[in-house]
């Protein structure tokens, strides 16, 4: 048991060090191409269904249609925010805690433009 | 409740939140490699925390409670195992979450470990894990065998790590179904706190004046060997006297300011007196600074006794035939039982094998021999390591031909315990008829 725990301890720090090292060596990732298109809240409101879901979050506009079914808590948690300004939903998950940094990063894949 | 059932219940408690997590998880959470890694990452966090909490429930020793689990040493073995499982799971927890982030990008993976925004929950989690590494390092001998007092001191950090882990968990909030999470963690934390309150409240004072912490005084000291002292302790208050059974042990704290080491430090020692004796006796072998200092403790000095703990022998008088195998100072629990049998002139069937290096180190040989002379059914055999090497099956068969039929009790240093257990098991004695008591810390 002692040996197993010590091995786990070493393996843990080796993995963390490896990830940090790869990250440092990979250098800065290029910023995603800036999308200049702007949309109004009225335009966003036209995309308020499970088959076509846009949201405005912190001044940016996202098309989450392809993501809905991949949300860990199910598409149901997102549907009520489709076609709306959804910063509150992102920041509070509807009951308090913010989404993780990981979630915020993942969101950038669905960016389509800025809010007018 | 039988000991294995009680121990199984602890593992069940540790696994319960994970089971709830799994039954409430949805197909989406397992729909891709990244999603599965993320789910596993959260699952290891839930399981790690629940095992941590169950280990915490067992961290408070309460006299009498340990019997349910086969004695304090067995209970602490379970505590140690639960903590090890928890530690391994909690090490995997951030790694799995980071691996799942890698599915999106390297940046995303790293940001799970070191987020740029909303840093507090992750920071608290990191702090908890690092504190855990610090306090567990001596328990798992990361950097060699630990010093007992330093180990005890560092182990107090466990509370800090646990509180941080709970904060981390509550801040992130979405591991299990929302309500379940609050119910489970509150319940588990409550149980762990209850154990601590029970210890600090009830057992700090003497419990019905027969258990818990009692004030004693050293009234006598004899030296059965040059490096062993047997201390005789008398209760300070007439009505407060520790009630115990043969084979149990106490935590002993000396308050003799002339001691060269170990003043006001607590150490466990096995009781050597018979339960019906007025005074309490313990045998202390010189094995370290504190026990060396105790060899010359002043008569009349104050001590604190806490206990009794352990469940080496079955309660009450035995009607079974027994085989005792003792190594060196491991004779102490047997001495207590032998004195008890001799005092009551019980009808017994006991074969006692005392394993020692040589004649000069045959601890309590004379007294045991005189008991063997007086008490029919009590047989004593000496085994000398220098003459016969390690004890083996042939030796047992030659001196105690019916040893396979007996209930076996073994107490001694770890190497000897391992060796004797191997011999007994390979001779076909079932595990539940072999009882061992380790003096080892962990």
**Structure-block tokens of residue B44:** 């290891």
Chain-centre distance of CA A70, in angstroms? Answer: 11
Cβ of B31 under 8 Å from any chain A Cβ? yes
The whole-number average pLDDT for the span A9-26 is: 92
Evaluated on CA atoms B339, B345, B349, B353, the torsion sign reads positive
Distance separating alpha carbons of residues B338 and B377, to the nearest angstrom:
11
Neighbours of B381 (CB within 10 A): 17
**Structure-block tokens of residue B4:** 């294995």
Which of B252, B217, B251 lies closest to B237, judged by CA? B217
E strands in B322-416: 322-327, 350-356, 378-384, 407-412
Distance separating alpha carbons of residues B80 and B89, to the nearest angstrom:
14
Model pLDDT, residue B404: 93
pTM of the model: 0.76
Quick: pLDDT tens for B406-431: 999 999 988 899 999 999 999 999 98
Quick: pLDDT tens for B363-389: 899 999 999 999 999 999 999 999 888
pLDDT range class, residue B442, cuts 50, 70, 90: very low
* Residue-by-residue DSSP string for A6-25: HHHHHHHHHHHHHHHHHHHH
Model pLDDT, residue B399: 95
- CA dist A96 to A57, B270, B353, Å? 17, 54, 67
Query: A8 contacts in B (CB within 8 Å)?
Result: 87-88, 91
What are A114's strand-pairing partners?
Answer: A38, A60
The whole-number average pLDDT for the span B195-212 is: 68
Distance separating alpha carbons of residues A90 and B96, to the nearest angstrom:
23
E strands in B184-246: 212-225, 228-235
Distance separating alpha carbons of residues A110 and A66, to the nearest angstrom:
9
What mean pLDDT value characterizes chain B?
A: 88
Quick: pLDDT tens for A23-40: 888 866 555 555 678 899
Residue ranges of chain A whose CB lies within 8 Å of a chain B CB = 1-2, 4-6, 8-9, 11-12, 15-16, 19-20, 22-23, 26, 29, 69-74, 93, 95-98, 100-102, 104-106, 109
Please, what are the domains in chain B?
3-201 (1.20.120), 212-309 (2.40.30.10), 322-438 (3.40.50.80)
Distance separating alpha carbons of residues A54 and A52, to the nearest angstrom:
7
Q: Note whether B115 contacts A9, CB cutoff 8 Å.
A: no
The whole-number average pLDDT for the span B277-298 is: 92
What CATH number has the domain spanning A38-115?
Answer: 3.10.120.10
Distance separating alpha carbons of residues B81 and B83, to the nearest angstrom:
5
Residue B222 has pLDDT above 80, yes or no: yes
Quick: pLDDT tens for B87-105: 999 999 999 999 988 887 8
Model pLDDT, residue A49: 85
Pairing of strands A84-85, A52-57: parallel
Pairing of strands B407-412, B322-327: parallel
Neighbours of B76 (CB within 10 A): 19
The residue assigned the tokens 């770890």 is B414
Of B87, B109, B111, the CB nearest to A5: B87
Those residues whose C-beta lies under 8 Å from the C-beta of residue B309, and which sit 6 or more positions away, are: B61, B63, B66, B71, B72, B248, B249, B250, B251, B268
Residue A95 has pLDDT above 80, yes or no: no
Q: Note whether A100 contacts B112, CB cutoff 8 Å.
A: yes
- Report helix angle B157-172 to B33-57, nearest 10: 140
pLDDT range class, residue B300, cuts 50, 70, 90: very high
Quick: pLDDT tens for B7-62: 899 999 999 999 988 888 877 778 788 888 988 999 999 999 999 999 999 888 87
Distance separating alpha carbons of residues B393 and B85, to the nearest angstrom:
36
Distance separating alpha carbons of residues B414 and B247, to the nearest angstrom:
18
Those residues whose C-beta lies under 8 Å from the C-beta of residue B294, and which sit 6 or more positions away, are: B229, B231, B254, B259, B262, B284
The whole-number average pLDDT for the span B311-336 is: 88
Residue B175 has pLDDT above 80, yes or no: no
Pairing of strands A52-57, A38-39: unpaired
Residue B281 has pLDDT above 80, yes or no: yes
| pLDDT: which is higher, B252 or B115 | B252
Model pLDDT, residue A97: 74
Distance separating alpha carbons of residues B314 and B408, to the nearest angstrom:
12
**Structure-block tokens of residue B123:** 């920071």
Q: How many CA atoms lie within 13 A of B95 on its CB side?
A: 18
The residue assigned the tokens 């997102």 is A78
**Among A58, A105, A108, A110, which would you mutate to test the B interface (most chain B Cβ atoms within 10 Å of its Cβ)?**
A105
Of B91, B112, B117, the CB nearest to A12: B91
**Structure-block tokens of residue A20:** 């940090």
Model pLDDT, residue B209: 60
**Structure-block tokens of residue B12:** 């069940």
Q: Which of A64-68, A92-96, B108-112 has the lowest mean pLDDT?
A: A92-96
Model pLDDT, residue B207: 57
Model pLDDT, residue B67: 82
Which of B5, B133, B138, B137 lies closest to B78, judged by CA? B5
Distance separating alpha carbons of residues B418 and B423, to the nearest angstrom:
9
Pairing of strands B407-412, B267-270: unpaired
**Structure-block tokens of residue B195:** 């154990």
Local structure of A76: helix, strand or coil: helix
Which segment, A26-35, A97-106, B327-336, is predicted with the most confidence on average?
B327-336
The whole-number average pLDDT for the span B326-343 is: 94
Instruction: Establish whether the linkage from the previous residue to B308 is cis, with ω within 30° of 0.
Output: yes
| Composition of chain A by helix, strand, coil, percent to 5 | 45, 20, 35
Quick: pLDDT tens for B136-166: 998 888 888 777 778 888 898 999 999 999 9
Chain-centre distance of CA B324, in angstroms? Answer: 21
Model pLDDT, residue A28: 60
**Structure-block tokens of residue B387:** 């003459």
Determine contact, residues A87/B104, Cβ cutoff 8 Å: no
The whole-number average pLDDT for the span A89-115 is: 83
Please classify residue A30 by burial: count the beta carbons closer than 10 Å to its beta carbon, then call 0-12 exposed, 13-18 middle and 19+ buried.
exposed
Determine contact, residues B416/B329, Cβ cutoff 8 Å: no
Model pLDDT, residue B203: 60
Model pLDDT, residue B174: 62
pLDDT range class, residue B133, cuts 50, 70, 90: very high
The whole-number average pLDDT for the span B248-270 is: 91
Model pLDDT, residue B402: 93
Distance separating alpha carbons of residues B239 and B209, to the nearest angstrom:
7
Q: Note whether A93 contacts B112, CB cutoff 8 Å.
A: no
Of B38, B108, B142, the CB nearest to A105: B108
């Amino acid at each position: 048991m002692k040996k197993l725990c010590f091995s786990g301890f070493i393996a843990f720090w080796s993995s963390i060090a490896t990830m940090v090292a790869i990250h440092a060596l990979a250098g800065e990732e290029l910023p995603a191409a800036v999308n200049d298109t702007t949309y109004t809240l009225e335009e966003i409101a036209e995309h308020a269904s499970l088959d076509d879901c846009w949201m405005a979050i912190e001044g940016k506009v996202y098309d989450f249609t392809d993501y809905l079914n991949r949300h860990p808590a199910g598409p149901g948690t997102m549907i009520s925010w489709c076609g709306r300004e959804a910063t509150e939903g992102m920041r509070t998950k509807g009951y308090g805690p913010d989404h993780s940094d990981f979630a915020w990063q993942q969101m950038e894949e669905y960016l389509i433009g800025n809010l007018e | 409740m039988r000991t294995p059932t009680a121990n199984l219940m602890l593992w069940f408690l540790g696994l319960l939140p994970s089971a709830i997590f799994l039954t409430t998880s949805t197909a989406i959470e397992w729909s891709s490699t990244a999603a599965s890694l993320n789910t596993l990452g959260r699952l290891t966090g839930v399981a790690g925390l629940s095992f941590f909490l169950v280990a915490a429930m067992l961290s408070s020793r309460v006299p009498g409670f340990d019997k349910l689990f086969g004695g304090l040493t067995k209970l602490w073995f379970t505590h140690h195992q639960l903590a090890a499982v928890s530690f391994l799971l909690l090490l995997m927890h951030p790694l799995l979450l980071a691996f799942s982030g890698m599915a999106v990008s390297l940046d995303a993976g790293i940001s799970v470990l070191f987020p740029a925004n909303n840093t507090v929950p992750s920071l608290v989690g990191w702090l908890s894990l690092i504190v855990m590494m610090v306090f567990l390092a001596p328990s798992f001998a990361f950097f060699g065998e630990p010093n007992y007092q330093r180990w005890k001191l560092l182990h107090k950090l466990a509370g800090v790590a646990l509180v941080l882990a709970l904060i981390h968990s509550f801040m992130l909030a979405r591991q299990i179904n929302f309500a379940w999470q609050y119910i489970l963690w509150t319940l588990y934390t409550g149980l762990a706190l209850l154990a601590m309150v029970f210890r600090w409240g009830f057992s700090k004072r003497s419990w019905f004046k027969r258990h818990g912490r009692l004030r004693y005084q050293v009234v006598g000291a004899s030296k059965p060997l040059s490096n062993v002292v047997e201390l005789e302790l008398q209760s300070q208050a007439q009505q407060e006297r520790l009630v115990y059974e043969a084979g149990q042990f106490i935590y002993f704290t000396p308050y003799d300011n002339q001691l060269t080491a170990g003043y006001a430090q607590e150490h466990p020692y096995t009781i050597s007196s018979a339960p019906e004796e007025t005074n309490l006796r313990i045998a202390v072998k010189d094995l370290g600074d504190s026990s060396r200092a105790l060899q010359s403790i002043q008569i009349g000095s104050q001590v604190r006794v806490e206990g009794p703990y352990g469940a080496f022998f079955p309660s009450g008088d035995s009607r079974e035939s027994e085989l005792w195998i003792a190594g060196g100072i491991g004779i102490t629990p047997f001495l207590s039982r032998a004195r008890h049998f001799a005092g009551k002139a019980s009808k017994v069937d006991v074969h006692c094998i005392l394993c020692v290096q040589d004649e000069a180190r045959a601890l309590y040989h004379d007294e045991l021999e005189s008991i063997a002379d007086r008490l029919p059914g009590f047989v004593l055999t000496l085994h000398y390591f220098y003459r016969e090497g390690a004890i083996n099956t042939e030796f047992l068969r030659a001196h105690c031909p019916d040893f396979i039929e007996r209930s076996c009790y073994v107490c001694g240093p770890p190497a000897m315990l391992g060796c004797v257990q191997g011999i007994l098991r390979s001779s076909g004695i079932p595990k539940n008829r072999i009882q061992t008591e380790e003096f080892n810390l962990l």
